[in-house]
Amino acid sequence: MPAELQDGESIEMQGSARQPYVLKNVGGVYSCSCPAWRNQSLPIERRTCKHLRKLRGDAVEQQRVGQPLAPQPNRTAKAVVPPLLLAEKWPADHDPTDWWLSEKLDGVRAYWDGQQFLS
């Protein structure tokens, strides 16, 4: 159920960080201490984040910021991993003696999905 903060009121909401984020209402301007809110290149009265949207509801937040909200990411969908360039697994039966081996530092050999590397 959407909630409103009174002028000068703040609450804490647990997010992905160790410490909870602080959501505030100061003179009708809502703010959040999360990086997504802080790093937006919009005036502070036009910023929003998933924490404010969760607290107040999408319709109320869209009306407050005066523009359509970005769609929320679908966390249940499996990520589509693009094919990796030049990525090959080293065969276990190949002896690397007398071979020059190096790490690839100027590109991507695998993708991190937040839990594991995908190749």
The b-or-e profile of 18-49 (16+ CB within 10 A means b, else e) is eeebebbbeeeebbbbbebbeeeeeeeeebbb
The three-state secondary structure class of 59 is helix
Instruction: Summarize pLDDT for 12-59 with one digit per residue, the tens.
Output: 999 888 899 999 999 989 999 999 999 998 999 999 999 999 999 999
The widest CA-to-CA distance across the chain, in whole angstroms, is 71
pLDDT for the residue numbered 14? 92
pLDDT for the residue numbered 107? 63
Domain positions in the chain are 10-65
| pLDDT band of 1, cuts 50, 70, 90 | low
What letter would DSSP give residue 1?
-
pLDDT for the residue numbered 91? 79
Instruction: Summarize pLDDT for 81-106 with one digit per residue, the tens.
Output: 666 556 567 778 888 787 765 555 55
Which of 11, 15, 16, 57 lies closest to 31, judged by CA? 11
